[in-house]
Amino acid sequence: MDTVKLQVGVNLQPGLKLPPGLIYQQEFFGAEELKKALTYLESVRPIWEKRFSKSNPPPEGQSNRGLLRPVYWLGNWQFACLNYYHPPKGIEFRCVRAEPYPSVLVQAVDRIEAQTRQQIPERDIPKRWHLNTCLINYYGSRLTEEGKWDDVARVGEHKDFEPGPVASLSFGESALFQFVASQSKGSQSQVVRQMWLDHNSLQIFGGDNWKKKYFHRVQRVEKKRAFNLAPGIQKFQTRRINLTFRYVPTEHVQPLSRFPQHLKEDVASYIHELAGASPYFQQELLDANLL
């Protein structure tokens, strides 16, 4: 198992080599860009989603549990209750067209895509690959009904099914990111590589080895620097924000107005909540006849 730990504020050492398909850059944004990015993130109003809905009910004997953390999507919104986007089968009516990137992220994505094409083998980049989707995850602690703070900053092992390389920008506390080989049920997964994702860092991974063969997870998020990056979220203390950029073929992204009525109704409450702070989703409500 390999571990990479870099000090905050130090660029990636020239002598440190990562295996093919992995890229890590310590300081991505300059000071002014970083300030703009953090200012934008403070303006975002994430929402709490539930995993299931009327059309996609929970398994027998289970309740409709909520996600562990608030989220926000750009480019397209993949609601949990629509069962996300997971080709080859899970592609129809999974991606609701969402707000475009703000200018600071447009510029960032241009740089990330150029770097990816320079350093990731061409065979691992789909023909029309473009990082047109961004999931913003808020990591931290949630205040329970009992009045206790529950740390919900970990993420279990999973795969990102969108085709092509995935890129992420991290802000706040450092996170221990692991690639794991999933073992048989009941046994512990084997960590094959881990690295710390620090404040203002960029990570890119692509190719079958990292996208298909192995799962990945966030094993822990540190508590060393007293970050609270999104103070507007009630009953939640955000010590890390991560932006994950992915590619969804444009033909799989639809405006909400084109979704079947029962799926519109499944996400109507979320769209109403989003519309409270977003002119874009206010218009989506009108176009989808959900007022």
**Whether the predicted pLDDT of 35 surpasses 50:** yes
pLDDT band at 226 (very low <50, low <70, confident <90, very high): confident
Contact present, 270 and 239 (Cβ < 8 Å)? no
CATH of domain 20-254: 2.60.120.590
Which pLDDT belongs to residue 230? 83
Between 146 and 227, name the one with better pLDDT.
146
Residues 6 or more apart whose CB falls under 8 angstroms from that of 97 comprise: 76, 77, 253, 254, 255, 256, 284
pLDDT of residue 119 exceeding 50, the answer is yes
- Is residue 82 within 8 Å of 268, Cβ to Cβ? no
**Domains of the chain, residue spans:** 20-254
**pLDDT reading at 184 higher than 70:** no
Average pLDDT over residues 57-73: 93
Query: What pLDDT shows up at residue 33?
Result: 97
pTM: 0.92
Q: Is 103 helix (H, G, I), strand (E, B) or coil?
A: helix
Burial 192-227 (b: 16+ CB within 10 A, else e): bbbbbbbbbbbbbbbbebbbeebbbbbbebbeeeeb
What stretches of the chain show up as alpha helix (H) in DSSP? 31-43, 103-119, 208, 261-275, 279-287
Q: Residue 233: count other Cβ atoms within 10 Å of its Cβ.
A: 20
Taking Cα atoms as reference points, which of 56, 99, 70 lies closest to residue 253?
99
* Residue 11 pLDDT greater than 60, yes or no: no
> What is the C-alpha separation between 106 and 75, in angstroms, rounded?
11
Residue 231 has what pLDDT? 83
Least confident of 10-14, 17-21, 182-186: 10-14
Question: In which band, very low, low, confident or very high, does the pLDDT at 1 lie, cut at 50, 70 and 90?
Answer: low
**Average pLDDT score, the chain:** 91
Q: What is the pLDDT of residue 10?
A: 32
Reported as a pLDDT band with limits 50, 70 and 90, residue 188 is confident
Find out whether 207 and 120 touch, Cβ atoms under 8 Å. Answer: yes
Query: What span, in angstroms and rounded, lies between the C-alpha atoms of 268 and 161?
Result: 26
Q: Is the pLDDT of residue 182 over 90?
A: no
For helices 279-287 and 261-275, give the axis angle rounded to 10 degrees: 150
Is residue 7 over pLDDT 80? no
Among 8-17, 107-116, 221-230, which is the least confidently predicted range? Answer: 8-17
